[in-house]
Amino acid sequence: MHIGFMIQDWEQVDPSKNSTILIIRECLKRGHKVSILYPENLTVHNNIAHGLLQVIEPLEKIPDSIIQFYKKVTFKKVLTPLHALDSFMIRKDPPIDPIIYNFLDSIKNECIIINDIDGIRKANNKLYTTTFNDPGNSFLPKTYVSKNKSFIRQMIDEMPGDKVILKPLVGSGGHGVIVLEKNAQSNINSILDFYISGQGDSNYIIIQEYIEGAENGDVRVLMLNGKFLGAYNRKPPEGDIRANIQIGGTAHKYKMTDSQLAVCRKIGPRLAGDGLFFVGVDMIGDKILEVNVLNPGGISNINKLDKVKLHLKIVDFIEEKVDEKHEKRAELEYLLKRLSDLKQNDF
């Protein structure tokens, strides 16, 4: 089986914290061929989508230490048609150039892409939670999205409590997330100006209800094929509201409550139905803050805290999906042959 991974830069990876490295090593352990594809190495060659793949060269022995494994990996560059891949996993932080999805459209019916391209198109920003249909806010906080400053000001005033969360519509890693004090009237206009048009373009922003307890961190939940996989608590660094590990948050063991698991069961069928097989859901209490579909992390943290090996289940799932596709293709080829034989016999 040939499995490809889209990442930003192998040289910048921290193997002690990176979830993708664990998955890659397990694929190699099982004898699969593994390649890395950087976004800038997509191309079209003679009307067929190709990638200049960094194919991992065979290792005599795969080290048990993830750091030693990372150091030993070497690559061979090979221009390869994308349809030669059996599975492809997108492991790059947003935003992603939408042209990349057009390249992958050419193979989405031949290759298991995790997550599904059409699913990512629906969910590659923070608007996806609107599809969960929770008008009573039982598991979604009150949320407004706009680039109209006067409307946003009105929503801030109508939001419960004395503070709200403000963040850009597109982004990751907690970048741009701030707590806005509603009584800081003199600052709100300039803050909104910066977020909406600070880069010269008109950008959508999110105003979200502040959930009590946010200062104590959130819970990163990992979902696989619509089912709960694992979770851990992320606590923010001192003086910050953001609990993201990339900006100094710390990882702590966590046991999901029955009501949180019920929320996961509620959204699971929608995630799986949209082809969003490996997803990170950020929660505070029973409320979902975000759904991360491009590069959810946390496997290494949960593995250490709970003494589990979640990456094994992910590779199991990839193998099952590829086998399932191969079986369906074989069945279709058999039926087409039978149909051809019957037509020939009629003559």
Same domain, 199 and 244: no
d(C-alpha 92, C-alpha 335), whole Å: 39
Over the range 263-297, which residues count as b (16 or more CB within 10 Å of their CB) and which as e? bbeebbebbbebbbbbbbbbbbbebbbbbbbbbbb
Residue 187 has a pLDDT of: 78
Q: Say whether both 22 and 107 belong to one domain.
A: yes
Compute the distance between CA of residue 177 and CA of residue 92 in angstroms, rounded to an integer.
Answer: 20
pLDDT score recorded for residue 111: 95
In a domain, 340, yes or no: no
- Pairing status of strand 178-181 against strand 163-168: antiparallel
- CA 285/CA 257 separation, integer angstroms: 9
Our CA dihedral for 173, 67, 65, 71, rounded to 10 degrees, sits at 140
* Region of poorest pLDDT, from 52-66, 109-123, 231-245: 231-245
Task: Note whether 22 and 108 are same-domain residues.
Answer: yes
At 208, list the tokens. Answer: 């979200």
Let me know whether 205 and 221 are in one domain: no
pLDDT, position 347:
54
Q: Which two tokens mark 22?
A: 């664990």
pLDDT attached to residue 315? 98
The pLDDT of residue 71 is 96
Specify the pLDDT at position 114: 96
**Of 47, 33, 49, 128, which is closest to residue 87 (Cα–Cα)?**
33
Question: If you compute the radius of gyration of the chain from its CA atoms, what whole number of angstroms results?
Answer: 22
pLDDT at 239: 65
Per the domain annotation, does 231 fall within a domain?
yes
Examine the domain organization and report whether 94 and 160 are in the same domain.
no
Number of structural domains (the chain) is: 3
Cα–Cα dist 192/197, whole Å: 8
Do 103 and 155 sit in the same domain of this protein?
no
Please indicate, yes or no, whether residues 108 and 6 belong to a single structural domain of this protein. yes
- The answer to whether residues 203 and 224 belong to one domain is no
Please tell me the total number of residues recorded for the chain in this structure. Answer: 347
Domain boundary among the residues 184, 209, 234 is at: 209
Query: Which residue from 160, 145, 132, 137 is spatially nearest to 286, judged by alpha carbons?
Result: 137
**Residue that wins the pLDDT comparison between 339 and 39:** 39
pLDDT band at 247 (very low <50, low <70, confident <90, very high): low
What is the C-alpha separation between 316 and 311, in angstroms, rounded?
Answer: 9
Average pLDDT, stretch 221-247? 85
Domain span at residue 245?
Answer: 215-311
Q: pLDDT band for position 108 (50/70/90)?
A: very high
Q: In this structure, what CATH number is given to the domain that contains residue 200?
A: 3.30.1490.20
Residue 127 within a domain: no
Residue-wise pLDDT for 119-142, tens only, equals 999 887 778 888 888 889 999 999
Contact between 70 and 39 (Cβ < 8 Å)? no
Cα–Cα distance list, 121 to 61, 69, 118 (Å): 39, 34, 5
Same domain, yes or no, for 79 and 171? no
Q: pLDDT-based confidence at 189, cuts 50/70/90?
A: confident
Tokens standing for residue 159: 């939001």
**CA 174 to CA 171: how far, in whole Å?**
8
pLDDT for 203: 85
Whether pLDDT at 241 is above 70: no
Classify residue 285: in a domain, yes or no.
yes
183 lies in the same domain as 222: no
Task: Answer yes or no: is 281 within a domain.
Answer: yes
Looking at the fold, whether 9 and 23 belong to one and the same domain comes out as: yes
Structure tokens, 194: 């910066």
In a domain, 135, yes or no: no
Domain co-membership, 19 together with 73: yes
pLDDT of 173 higher than 70: no
- Asked if the structure places residue 129 within a domain, the reply is no
Using CA atoms, how far apart are residues 73 and 36, in angstroms rounded to an integer? 12
pLDDT at 251: 93
Q: Tell me what the pLDDT averaged over the chain comes to.
A: 90
Q: Which of 178, 209, 240 is the last residue of a domain?
A: 209
Q: What is the CATH number of the domain that holds 26?
A: 3.40.50.20
CATH code of the domain containing 298:
3.30.470.20
Q: Is position 181 within any domain?
A: yes
The owner of tokens 């990882």 is 251
> 3-class DSSP state for residue 221?
strand
pTM reported for the whole predicted model: 0.88
CA atoms within a 13 Å half-sphere pointing along the CA-CB vector of 175: 9
Whole-number pLDDT of residue 51: 97
Q: What is the pLDDT of residues 268-298, one digit of tens each?
A: 999 999 999 999 999 999 999 889 998 999 9
**Residue-level pLDDT at 342:** 74
pLDDT at 72 over 70: yes
Tokens matching residue 312: 């094994």
CA angle 342, 346, 347 (to 5 degrees): 125
Domain end marker among 114, 130, 155:
114
